[in-house]
Amino acid sequence: MTRHFASGRRIALLVVAVVVLLFVAFLMFAHRPAIAEIAPPARGAFPETDIARGAALARMGNCTSCHTAKGGRPFAGGVPIATPFGTLHGTNITPDPVTGIGRWSEPAFARSMRQGVARDGSHLYPAFPYDHFSSLTDADLHGLYAFLMTRRPVHLEPPANRMIPPLGFRPLLAGWKLLFFRPARFTTDPGHDALWNRGKYLGDGIAHCGGCHSPRGVLGNEKTDQPYAGGWVDGWYAPPLDATSPAIRAWTADRLETYLRTGLSTTHAAAAGPMGAVAHNLSQVRDPDVRAIATYYADLMAKAPAARREPPLPDRADAAVRAHPEGAALYAGACAMCHEPGAPMVVAGRPVLPLGTQFHEHTPRDMIQTILQGVAPPVGAQGPYMPAYASTLSDTQVAQLVAYLQTRHGTVRWDDLEKEVARARKEGKP
């Protein structure tokens, strides 16, 4: 008994030792050194051209979406980012020496962008898309650094993250990186022209379009073998940007460029959900870069069905009324005033409903979110506006409305609409 116990204890000790050793080894593996703090660089240290280059990149990178809170100072962080693993908060990337990145040297900044490691050596969550940013050139990283280090410093500590235990333990991220993180390299594709290549560099890299438009695995990893096959973000579906694009009208470079720069395509629809901010940021970027991005993605979608043939827009009004009279009544009072062909908005040139890709996606999610959340341009700016119906319509009513719309204009069959509405409400909460 005693011996057994003794030997049992020895085995247990051995196991513990192995675990500890493995843990230490892991910690050593996961360890990244801190990079020494510097005195915040003077403004004059950066030439205007570098700052301007960084400014454009920051807009294409849509940095504000995660690093500028609603009503908060630009780049001061604090934006809650809901992930399946808990809630993160965008960090303060102003040059404040205490709460921001004011004491980060350029190598520290470059390491964070390329390896997802903060100046103090801690690993960064992959919600920060270093898997995309790793392809940025030194010159572009320098531009971004110049831009960020010349912003107004804001002293503001973002709220603490709330991750599901033990995911708050950052060294674990080294394991995630081991499994999924492959630093991106950009190489010019000689089969395409310079504009296309520029678009690929920007789109795959700083703009990290795949962050939303590519599917993710269970551990939040982007499935690199299915780039741009469609993904999920904040309870919205980001449709594919490849040959499986469900858009009912072709995405030509011209149309895409207009859409990206204005948030509105008269052959498609208005940018809704998280895409609204992307378009708003791109509206301030000089033309060739947006043109380049549009060229690249138009090419990726060049084999999509709509690129081959633009089908007539389905409008089965009578059948839809018969099948879903409740939805039809809601539509006539709530939606028709803006969306029917004779509505002033349509007369003025805004696209009709069935042009919207939402009608042709395999999931009703985007239509539901648009109905629940509406569409709003930034304060004081012109642009498509739609009121939110979240507090007006019940789940059943939204489902009735969606069923009506789908029967009338849709090209895909959706089921379990009421459940979808409930899920959309839950996941769409900011």
Contact call for residue 167 and other proteins (CB under 8 A): no
Contact call for residue 49 and other proteins (CB under 8 A): no
| Among residues 1, 379, 413, 426, the one that binds other proteins under rule CB under 8 A | 379
Choose between 131 and 395: whose C-beta lies nearer to other proteins: 395
| CB of 97 vs other proteins, minimal distance in Å | 17
Contact call for residue 40 and other proteins (CB under 8 A): no
| CB of 235 vs other proteins, minimal distance in Å | 20
Contact call for residue 220 and other proteins (CB under 8 A): no
User: Tokens 């033309």 map to which residue?
Assistant: 287
- State the Cα–Cα distance between residues 268 and 248, nearest whole angstrom: 8
* CB < 8 Å & 24+ apart, contacts of 347-354: 349/266, 350/264, 350/266, 350/270, 350/384, 351/264, 351/265, 351/266, 351/267, 351/268, 351/269, 351/270, 352/313, 353/405, 353/409, 354/248, 354/313, 354/314, 354/315, 354/409, 354/410
- State the Cα–Cα distance between residues 289 and 292, nearest whole angstrom: 5
| Among residues 385, 412, 416, 429, the one that binds other proteins under rule CB under 8 A | 385
Q: Where are the beta strands (DSSP E) in 16-128?
A: 80-83, 86-89
Per CB under 8 A, the segment of 77-85, 290-298, 327-335, 407-415 that binds other proteins is 327-335
SS3 232: strand
SS3 100: coil
Contact call for residue 387 and other proteins (CB under 8 A): yes
Contact call for residue 127 and other proteins (CB under 8 A): no
Residue among 124, 146, 123, 282 nearest 207 (CA): 282
| Among residues 30, 60, 75, 145, the one that binds other proteins under rule CB under 8 A | 75
User: How buried is residue 169: exposed, middle or buried, by Cβ count under 10 Å (0-12/13-18/19+)?
Assistant: exposed
Element (H, E) at 236: strand 236-238
- State the Cα–Cα distance between residues 50 and 146, nearest whole angstrom: 6
Contact call for residue 343 and other proteins (CB under 8 A): yes
Per CB under 8 A, the segment of 170-178, 287-295, 345-353, 420-428 that binds other proteins is 345-353
Q: For other proteins, how many residues bind (rule: CB under 8 A)?
A: 49
Contact call for residue 73 and other proteins (CB under 8 A): yes
Contact call for residue 422 and other proteins (CB under 8 A): no
Contact call for residue 386 and other proteins (CB under 8 A): yes
- State the Cα–Cα distance between residues 400 and 397, nearest whole angstrom: 5
Contact call for residue 392 and other proteins (CB under 8 A): yes
| Among residues 342, 413, 415, 426, the one that binds other proteins under rule CB under 8 A | 342
| Among residues 138, 380, 413, 426, the one that binds other proteins under rule CB under 8 A | 380
Contact call for residue 373 and other proteins (CB under 8 A): no
- Integer distance in angstroms from the first to the last C-alpha of the chain? 60
Residues that bind other proteins (CB under 8 A): 48, 51-52, 54-55, 71, 73-75, 147, 150-152, 284, 326, 328-334, 336-338, 340-345, 347-348, 377-387, 391-394, 397
